[in-house]
């Protein structure tokens, strides 16, 4: 808890990244969380890993050890065979209780406008998982506006625009949320004044906080305490929205 508010970090990574060489353990994340007053974090594998099943097992173990601190998300190459993709998402949802499915178009170039991507969103909906979509770097497939099409094809599926499109495309994220009630925005990577503009145009019950990396946690959560927000708005962004979206 921070300054009387419970805090849910909806964008963290656990495990080992093949593309960047970064690693993160549950113990390291907990230390950063405790230092910044974060109650719960959504654990996501890095987008490029040696063995996605092993990374999912690692997240499941962290959740078993700390069920009150961690929630899980699956992330795997969407271009594996359909049976392999379906089977692994089913395993994460049914055996591990994961609550989200991550798409990282920067490394997983799946076009969300194309009907070829339907299997991804259908799978998330089948297992009651929210989709967390990286947006911003990795355009064109990481453009926030492209997820309008998917959100309209799957109107009951929560789609979270991770990083809100970044500082270049955050206005697209605003428009996407305005035209699709099942689109949510996660605010990591934005400057405080960008966050203020998003908050001015999108209801707080569709906004959430995230850090992405441990080094950014204090800055990402802290910026929401520097803005002139009502207690109700801050409470929604920091805790109530993700709690509802992830079904906790």
Task: Give the pLDDT mean for 183-190.
Answer: 98
Confidence of residue 140 (pLDDT cuts 50, 70, 90): very high
4-17 core/surface letters (b: 16 or more CB in 10 A; e: else): ebebbbbbbbbbbb
Cis bond upstream, residue 105 (ω within 30): no
All domains of the chain in start order, with CATH: 8-245 (3.20.20.140)
The DSSP annotation for 26-79 comes to HHHHHHHHHHHT--EEEEE--SS-S-HHHHHHHHHHHHHH-TTTEEEEE---TT
135-154 core/surface letters (b: 16 or more CB in 10 A; e: else): bbebbebbbbbbbbbbbeeb
- Predicted structure pTM score: 0.97
Instruction: Label each residue of 120-139 as H, E or C.
Output: HHHHHHHCCCEEEEECCCCC
What whole-number distance in Å separates Cα of residue 75 and Cα of residue 170? 23
Q: Examine the pLDDT at 125 and tell me if it is beyond 90.
A: yes
Tell me: the pLDDT tens digits for 165-175? 999 999 999 99
Tell me: the pLDDT tens digits for 27-80? 999 999 999 999 999 999 999 999 999 999 999 999 999 999 999 999 999 999
């Amino acid at each position: 808890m921070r300054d009387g508010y419970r805090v849910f970090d909806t964008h963290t990574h656990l495990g080992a990244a093949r593309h960047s060489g970064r690693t993160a353990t549950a113990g390291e994340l907990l230390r950063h969380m405790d230092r910044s007053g974060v109650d719960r974090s959504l654990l996501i594998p890095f987008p490029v890993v040696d063995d996605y099943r092993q990374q999912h097992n690692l997240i499941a173990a962290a959740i078993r050890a700390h069920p009150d601190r961690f929630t899980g998300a699956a992330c795997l190459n969407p271009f594996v065979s359909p049976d392999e993709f379906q089977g692994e998402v089913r395993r994460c949802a049914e055996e591990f209780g994961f609550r989200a499915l991550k798409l990282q178009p920067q490394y997983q170039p799946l076009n969300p406008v194309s009907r070829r991507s339907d299997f991804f969103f259908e799978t998330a909906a089948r297992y009651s998982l929210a989709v967390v979509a990286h947006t911003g770097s990795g355009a064109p497939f990481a453009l926030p506006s492209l997820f309008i099409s998917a959100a309209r094809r799957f109107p009951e599926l929560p789609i979270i625009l991770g990083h809100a499109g970044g500082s270049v495309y955050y206005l697209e994220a605003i428009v996407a949320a305005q035209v699709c009630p099942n689109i949510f925005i996660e605010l990591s990577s934005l400057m405080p004044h960008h966050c203020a503009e998003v908050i001015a145009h999108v209801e707080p019950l569709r906004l959430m906080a995230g850090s992405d990396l441990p080094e950014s946690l204090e800055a990402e959560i802290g910026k929401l305490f520097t803005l002139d927000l009502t207690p109700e708005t801050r409470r929604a962004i920091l805790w109530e929205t993700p709690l509802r979206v992830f079904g906790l």
